[in-house]
Every structure is written in structure tokens, then in C-alpha cells.
Structure 1
Amino acid sequence: MVAGFDVDSYAKSEVTSISFFNKLSIHNNQVLIEMPFAKEIILNKEQKKQLQERVIVKIELVYTRFKTSEKFNQTELNKKRLLELKKLVPEVFDFPVWEYQLISQNNGNSREECSKMFHGFIITFRPLSTDAYAQQESDYVKQLVSNLSKIDSLAKDTTPKPYHIKTRWENGYVYDTIWGEEKKIDFYPPPPPNPYLASLKEDSTVLNAFSRNKNWTNFIVVTDATGSMSPYYTQVLTWLRQQLNNENARLFVFFNDGDRKPSDKKLLLETGGIYVTTERSYEMVSQTINKCISGGAGGGETKENDVEAMLLGLKHYPEAKNIVLIADNYEKMRDYEFMDKITIPVHIFLCGADRFINLQYLDLARVTKGSVHTKNEDIYNLYQLKEGEVVTIENRDYMLKNGVFTFYNSSKSILYN
């Protein structure tokens, strides 16, 4: 498989300098891949299983600045170490949507000192969901709905007074001006106490994509509601509040990849954990989201049952003309090989697409004659691309090769395999 991994570029990335990395500082969602000083040998290959089964959000390569010879080339060692990690887990490099960083330790002035320091990779995973975490997510959704209801009550107050309500979706506030006084109402409650989710709070991909695309009719909204997606599925509720007189969204589907089913029991197109509602009020849709959250402890695995969820939505509402899929860019589709069963356009809102675009969603948009939408861009007509042609998205290039998309760099042709 052609991978979106240019080893030369990664090996000479921008470097962050620190004094010393303390191995005891890692948290529960991190593992270390250790290597000896000045060598590319992986010392703890038993970590391979975790790297294969969990969603990686960041990879950091740590080394010491000290070198025993003036002829030593750190970039070349970085390259060898990256290739050694790729040899251990090649699938990790198939979709390099994770953040990457080089870290140089300044302490250590001899081979003996440096040999006692850490060298290798810090791998950061997306947090796994737990019952306690799912409850926090559910409480967050309920609080959001409560806040939106309060704002609606304010808006419906017919008492004569000169005021207007101005919505500012980009920062999550509604400004209510009464008698010339500006009052700020924060309708987004504080996010659950999870650092990873807090980092996504400012990503308004869903609201931005909906605001730029208002002409779709008779569509189903299918949303990944695993724990990692809470900053995005709550934006669906915010969008719904704006759609009081718009009935184009006819059905809402939320999926969590199998409820609490073990990974080895998740059969293709029979994974489950899918919740459907025909109600269009944000209060009722929020109840469906909460059922989905409570039903499963999704989040943290590397695959989701997107196609199964869309097919179930079409079974409930076969008259649909379009599907809006709110998808996780970090996840692969468990049922990717069945996407040709979907016969109407799928418009994919890709959440977390800050680096590369997940190639599977480009393929889905092309096969269904749909579209891809990031925080800032709308990409249509992928199905019109011919073999060997290139599309640019968020300043990165993708080539259609052998009927599927691959990563592409004009200076290197297909990126490093």
C-alpha cells in the first residue's frame, strides 16, 4: 500500500529542545518505544499490539543532542528510527493523521551519560472511553440542551422591550442586548475534564460545513457518537436549534461502533450500536445521542462502523436523496469494502482533519458522488477525477491511482512507500 509518509521530511522536522525527558512523566494514554543511544533497534517490540489496536494522536521522537563524532548525522538516525518503527507497525503509517514532533534533550555530555537517558518514541493514544467518562459526556449534552432551551425561552419572551439576539457561532456565545446593556450567555458548558477533548473545543468543523452548504434536501444526518467525537456531535444540536423551519434533515442516526461488544465479535455490517430518530427537535435528538453514549463505551479503537450506520439510516428512510456523515478523520471504516452499497451522495464532514485527510473518506465521497468538507474547505466532484489526476485539500495533494486515492507530493511523486 502506498503510504502518506515522507521519511526525509519527518526526519528533519522542526525540533523542540528540552533539558531531559523523564520516563515517569508519561500518562495512561502513552507508551514508550525504547531504543539505545545512537542506534535504531527497538528494545520493547511487545508494545506492537497497542500500536495496532488504538488510535494514535501523536508521535514524538526523542534523542540526545550529544554526539560522539563530528561526522554523526542526526537526521539519518532519525530516518532509520522512523523506518524501524514503520517496519514494526506499517499500518500506523498508512494514514499519518497524527501529530509528529522531534524532541532533543540537551543534558548528557558523554556516551555514558546519554546511554542512561531515554531514546525512542513517545506514542500518545486517544483516551479510551469508560463508564465514568460516558456519564460525563451525557451530562455535558444535557447541560448544553438546557442552556439552549434557556436561550430559546429568552428569545420567545414577548414582553415589549428593545432587544435583539445575535448569535456568534465561532466562539459559542449568544449576545442578548437589553436596554442597551450587553449580557453574555455561554450556551456551551465547560467541556468534560478530558485534556484531549478540551483541545478540540475550538474546532467548529460541523457548524462551518453546515453554514457553507445549505442547498441539500431530504437528507439523513449520520454521526459518529463515540466519546472522541463529543465536540462535534454537540455541534449538531447547536445547528438544529437554527433549523426551526427547515425540514430538509429527515432522520438522525448516531453510532458508537458496537455498544460494548468486544472487538473480536464485531462482524462486518453487524457491529451494532446504532441509534435512530425521526424527531428533529434538539431536545429529542439529544435524547438519542445520550442513549448512544450510554449504550457503548466507544472511542479509542481504530475502526468504526460508518457504512453500517448509513445503510441502517437508508433502511429507515429509503426516500433520502443525500447523507451527511459526520466522521472521525482519525478512524478507518470497519466496513469500507461495502461502501458501494450506498447509492446516494454522501457529504462527509471530516472532524479532526488538521493534517492529512483520511483516504478512505475521499474514496467514499468519490464512489457515492458526494463531497468532503473540512473546517475551511468544500471538495466536490471527486468522482470526475481521472486516473493519475491530483486534488489539493488544505494545501496537501492526493492522487487517484488504481481507482483509489493516495498521498502525493509533486516533488517526490507518490510519497514514500
Structure 2
Amino acid sequence: MKHFLLLLFLTLLAPTLQAQAPISDATIAAFYDRLPVVQTPRYQLERGLQRQLIRSDFSTADLAGLQLKGRQLVRVDLVYTAFHRDPKFNQRQLNLDRLRNLADRLPNLLTNDALTWNLVEQAGCRTPETCQDYFHGFVLYFEPYYTAIDNSVEAVRLSAALSLRTAKLATARKARTRRGVPVPCGYPLSQYKLKDLTRRVKRSYACPSKQPQTITFRATVSRRGQLESVRITDTLAACPEALAQSLRESLSFATGFRVGKEQFGFEVTGRVQLPLRRHGLTLTGYLLPDSIIRKYRIQLNVKNCTARRLRPGEPADSADLPNPDADIVTKVLARHPDWDKKVIVADVTGSMSPYTLDLLTWLQLSLQQQRRTFVFFNDGDDAPDDKKRIGSTGGLYAIRTARFDSLQLRLLDAMRHGGGGDAPENDGEAVREALRRAPDAREIILLADNHTFPRDFRLLLNLPVPLRIILCGASNYVNPRYLILGRRPGITLHTLAGDLPDLHDLPEGTTINILRVQYLVTATGLKPVKLL
């Protein structure tokens, strides 16, 4: 096997170890004994992260050159060989001594909840001579400690890279000819003129509040023009139920959304200015399902729409234009056309720049005319790490739009105001903010950093809608804490290699292959048992 990474499970709900000076033997042993032993022929260094090797015979002097300023420790691998000549040799005790030696010199090492620990037993050598060339000791992996200044530099680089991709896409679009046969397309016909519709609403709407307000609403209409539901989307509206009932009684359409010889159900958005006057009610837009828009290549304009039906065998147009540099975000979203992609939450801290670029490229290709809710988060706008509080860390930048330029500016604004600081982020707080801004969400898509884990993970539990977590950077392993989170109903995990949608349904005693490790399902989680 070319590359190996052992996944080590540290349970989320276990009490954290209390730092003591000196650390007791019982504490060291309890920590060590929670680590399952998994073998590999020979340890291979993980790519994509900064690293430093600490050999087993290290001294304090060896650690003196360890530079932590400007970077943060995210993973520790304890590496040794299975071979030993003396049958009385105690590998466990040797590893305990090594662990104590390191923990005594690096304060809080065992109590750092942001760390992932890996215990690696090399089984590829059989003699003292061959084993001598194998690495024995600790491998420390780091990520840069990003500040707002660092992330501002990343934002400039991201913008430049996006400009190059935009040029590629423009060239590809220009090369395509105008394909397809024009199809008649018409907005639904209302039973009443707007001024008459306003009068109907005014007659039936009664509310004690006389405060001037502009209230937004959304209505669902069948393909025959029959009103199915009305929802007030302004959470601060006065008498929302009364207004919704008045709109249900007043809105009426003679047709559905007409495309060719067919009619389709649709959604209509609008606003009501209170108190109602002659032009107090306005219909602001019509929405069709993505599948209909793609099928007929529909373009929705202010006053009309256009549609073209591709001839048999003709390739799709710009809606299906491929991402020239597709990465995990594009590939996961492309293999899930069933997802409702209207609410997206994204970590935009410094380490996530490559995946942020992939997200922006995908959005360039897929936004069309549909409004989506986005929440970009940077873990506190560069607040000091000791000031970050669960549920109120901040650094959230939300927007609801169908305009790519608007969401790009909002995302870059989030990047410029904070780099993330310490490893754990405020994913849960951002997801809760997305639900507050989009209470009608059917599911939430979260772009998360696989190398870290949310400090506020409890806010991700018991959500009212499914949570789809795209694990960025999970090329060789899945963070064990995310695997535990993925065992909760309603939460699914997704990597570049594939999906982990039903971890909570796995019965005890079964095995599952995740990337390069085989796991045994136990009562407490997934235990790594074999390298693939």
C-alpha cells in the first residue's frame, strides 16, 4: 500500500482529561489504552500538511527547535515496529514512556480536543537490521494559523484564480453554437390586474397594527393555476396568518407556467406594502423546478422568458458546462442531483481556500436565476481564541441571492475579516444561522475542513432537516470525530471518493470500508481493524 493513515477514535462525549503536573501514570495509561492498534507494512508520511518528525530517542534539546508560532498542531502519529527479538519485551510500556516523555515537554498535549491521534504499528520488517531503517517515534502534523491578514492574501489569490477559470468558461461558452429549437414560453396569466388584486387583499385583510411595513411572501401554484399554499417569508410581519389567508383568498391564476404545449406548476414571490394603497401589492418573480429549467434551457427575464428544446443527440448548453478544474465540491454536488441545493454553509478560513475556489466555480455554472441562501463563516472575525464562545463566536456572513457577483463579494468579505485562528471552527453556529434565515430549508449543505472538528458540534445535533457534510481534505482519511457525528440520524458524510450516507443504520458486527481502512461496527462506534 502506497499510503496509509490509521483513523483513531476519541469519543466525543468522553470527559476531557485534566492537565496535571506531573501527569500521572494512570492518566497516561488511560489515554493510551483508548487507542486501537492497527498495522501497516511501513509508515508513509501524509502529504498536504506541514510535519515534523520526533524520533523515539528525542530529548528536550530536540524539541527546542519546534516552532509552533504561526501554525497549530492538528495531528500526532505514534509510530513503532511490531518486531522484537526478546519475547519478554513490553511494547506497551515503551510506548507509554515515549508518550510521557513527549507530554511532559509539550503542555496540554493530552487535553487538546482539536488533535487527532494515530497509533501506527509497522509490520513490514522481520530482523533487527531491516527494522533499523524504519521510523520510530512521533510525527507531528501542523496547519498554518491563519489571521485576517493571511486570509486577505488568500482572498486576493482566490480572486485571481477565479478570473482565470472565468476566462476558461467564457471561451467554452463562446465556442458553443446556438443549439436547439425555440419553444414558446410564457409567464402565468393572473385572473386579476394588480390594482384589482390589491383591492381584494385590502378588503379581506384586517390587522390592528398600522405600522408601515413591506412584507414578502411566496405562493405555490399548480400547473392548472390553482393556488396551493401561501407562506409569509418576512419573520417580523404583523399579523402574518391574517395576511396569508387574505392572499390565499385573493391570488388566482388562469394558467400554469406555459412552456411549449405544456403547463407546469410554479412558485410566485411578491411583496405587500402596508398600509395597502393602489400599488401596494407586487409580484416579484416566478420560479420553476431546476429539472424544467434544464430541460427547456429556460431564461427568466424581467418581462418574459425564453426557452429552447435540444434536438436528439445535441450536447447540453452552458447549464451543463463542466468545471475545468473540478474538485470535491463540484464532484459531490454533481453526483447528487437529488439534493435541494438552496442553502449552503461554507467554512472560508485560510485552509479552505482551494475548496472555496471550487465552490465559486460550481456556483458560476449552476446559479442561473434561482436565489440561494449562503452563510460563510470565518470563526469569529479574528477574535482571540480564548474569547470564542459556543453559539456566539461570530464571523458569519449571510446572503440570499441569485447573483454570482453579489455572493462572491460577500464571501471575499468574510475571508478578509478573519482567518480562523485556532483549529476548531464554529460550523454549528453557522448552520443554525442558515436555518434562521431559511426556515423553509429542506436540507443544509455544509463545507467543512476534515482536518479539524467544530468546537460547537452539539449545535449540529437534532436539526430539523438533513445535514450533508462535504469533508474537504479527506483524501486519505476521515476525521474520526466526523465518523462519530455521521452515526447520528439525519447527518451524512461525503468525500471525494464516495458517500457515507447511512452510518447510523449499520448493525453491530458488520464491517465497512472507508477510504483505505476497514472498520468493525461496535456498540461505541467504528473500530479500525484492517488496512486495505
Q: TM-score, normalised by structure 1?
A: 0.66
Q: Structure 1 pair 35/149, CA: closer, same or farther in 2 (3 Å)?
A: closer
3-state SS, counterpart of residue 488 of structure 2? helix
Taking the aligned partners of 1:212 and 1:133, their CA distance within structure 2 comes to 33
Alpha carbons of structure 1 residues 380 and 36: separation in structure 2 relative to 1, 3 Å: closer
Whether 1:217 and 2:246 are equivalent positions in the alignment is no
Q: Distance in 2 between matches of 1:8 and 1:157?
A: 54
Q: CA deviation at 1:266?
A: 0.6
- What is the SS of the residue equivalent to 1:310? helix
* Richer in helix (by share): 1
Q: Secondary structure, in 3 states, of the residue corresponding to 1:367? A: coil
Read off the aligned partner of 1:207 and give its amino acid letter: T
Residue 398 (structure 2) aligns with: 276
Q: 1:294 aligns with which of 393, 416, 437?
A: 416
Q: Report the counterpart of residue 158 of structure 2 in structure 1.
A: 141
User: Aligned partners of 1:335, 1:159: CA distance in 2, in Å?
Assistant: 47
User: Aligned in 2, Cα 1:126/1:75: closer, same or farther, shift over 3 Å?
Assistant: same
SS of equivalent to 1:261: coil
User: Does residue 13 in structure 1 map to residue 42 in structure 2?
Assistant: yes
Deviation at 1:240, TM superposition (A): 0.9
How far 1:125 sits from its partner (Å)? 1.1
The CA RMSD over aligned residues, in Å, is: 4.7
User: CA-to-partner distance for each residue in 1:11-60, whole Å, 9 max, x for gaps?
Assistant: x73479xxxxxxxxxxxx666757647xxx77778999969x93435758
Deviation of the 1:341 alpha carbon: 4.3
Q: Say whether the 8 Å CA contact 1:220–1:324 is kept in structure 2.
A: yes
CA distance in 2, matches of 1:308, 1:78: 43
> Could you say what secondary structure the match of 1:232 adopts?
helix
**Alpha-carbon contact 1:220-1:251 (below 8 Å) kept:** yes
What is the Cα deviation at residue 397 of structure 1? Answer: 3.8
Q: 1:276 to 1:4 in 2, by over 3 A?
A: farther
In structure 2, the residue matched to 1:241 is 364
TM-aligned CA distance change 1:263 to 1:400, over 3 Å: farther
- 2:478 aligns with 357
How many residues in Structure 1 have an aligned counterpart in Structure 2? 343
CA distance in 2 between partners of 1:406 and 1:364 (Å): 11
Name stretches of at least 5 consecutive residues in structure 2 with no aligned partner. Answer: 1-9, 12-32, 123-134, 180-314
Aligned-partner Cα distance in 2 for 1:151–1:45: 48
Query: Counterparts in 2 of 1:35-184, with a 5 A limit?
Result: 36=57, 54-56=72-74, 79=95, 83-84=99-100, 89-90=109-110, 96=116, 121=138, 123-154=140-171, 157=174, 169=323, 172=325
User: What is the CA–CA distance in structure 2 between the aligned matches of 1:8 and 1:83, rounded to whole Å?
Assistant: 18
Greater alpha carbon shift after TM alignment, 304-313 vs 362-371: 362-371
Partner of 2:460: 339
Structure-2 change in CA distance of 1:120 and 1:209 (3 Å): same
For the structure 1 residues 62 and 99, does the alpha-carbon distance in structure 2 shift closer, same or farther, using more than 3 Å as the test? closer
CA distance in 2 between counterparts of 1:342 and 1:49 reads 40
1:139 positional shift: 0.9
Cα offset for 1:160?
7.3
| Higher Rg of the two aligned structures | 2
* Cα contact 1:399–1:408 (8 A) shared by 2: yes
Change (3 A) 1:225 1:55: farther
Name the CA distance, whole Å, in 2 between partners of 1:400 and 1:290. Answer: 42
Rounded Cα–Cα distance in structure 2 between residues aligned with 1:230 and 1:99 = 30
State how far apart, in whole Å, the 2-side matches of 1:231 and 1:78 are: 41
From 389, 400, 405, the counterpart of 2:525: 405
Q: Contact between 2:487 and 2:504, CA under 8 Å: does it hold in 1? A: yes
TM-score for the superposition, normalised by structure 2: 0.53
The answer as to 2:232 corresponding to 1:232 is no
- Within the candidate set 417, 425, 445, 1:304 is matched to 425
Q: Which runs of 5+ in 1 are unaligned?
A: 17-28, 64-68, 103-117, 174-203, 412-417
Relative to structure 1, is the Cα distance of residues 75 and 384 closer, same or farther in structure 2, using a 3 angstrom cutoff?
closer
8 Å contact kept, 2:379–2:420: yes
Distance in 1 (CA, whole Å) between partners of 2:405 and 2:171 is 17
What is the CA distance between 1:385 and its match in structure 2? 3.0
Structure 1 residue corresponding to 2:441, chosen from 307, 320, 339:
320
Task: Please give the alpha-carbon distance, in whole angstroms, between the structure 1 residues aligned to 2:437 and 2:419.
Answer: 25
Does the 8 A contact of 1:257 with 1:304 survive in 2? Answer: yes
SS at match of 2:366: coil
Give the superposition deviation at 1:280: 3.4
1:370 to 1:124, Cα distance in 2 relative to 1, 3 A: closer
CA distance 1:317–1:99, change in 2 (3 Å): farther
Deviation at 1:283, TM superposition (A): 2.3
Question: 491, 497, 514: which is aligned to 1:370?
Answer: 491
1:188-212 Cα distance to aligned partner (Å, 9 max, x none): xxxxxxxxxxxxxxxx221221111
Secondary structure of 1:303's partner? coil
210-219 vs 288-297, which moves further = 210-219
Distance 1:85 1:252 in 2: 47
**Could you report, residue by residue, the CA deviation over 1:225-247 in whole angstroms, capped at 9, with x for unpaired residues?**
11001111111111112214474
Distance in structure 1 (CA, Å) of the matches to 2:377 and 2:113: 26
d(CA) in 2 for partners of 1:127, 1:341: 33
- Residue 207 (1) aligns with residue 327 (2): no
Q: Cα gap change, 1:81/1:242 in structure 2, threshold over 3 Å: closer, same or farther?
A: farther
Amino acid paired to 1:56 = V
Give me the whole-angstrom Cα distance separating, in 2, the residues matched to 1:297 and 1:278. 23
The CA deviation string for residues 139-168 of structure 1, in whole angstroms up to 9 with x for no partner, is 122223433443454456599799998966
Provide the rounded CA distance (Å) in 2 between the counterparts of 1:206 and 1:119.
Answer: 37
Query: Which amino acid letter does the alignment assign opposite residue 291 of structure 1?
Result: D
Query: Which string of whole-angstrom CA distances, capped at 9 and with x for unpartnered residues, describes residues 238-259 of structure 1?
Result: 1112214474x72111111111
C-alpha distance in 1, partners of 2:173/2:92? Answer: 66
Question: Does the C-alpha gap of structure 1 residues 83 and 225 become closer, same or farther in structure 2, counting only changes over 3 Å?
Answer: same
1:79-113 deviation line (CA, Å, top 9, x unaligned): 456644686634679964779899xxxxxxxxxxx
| Percent of paired sites with the same residue | 26
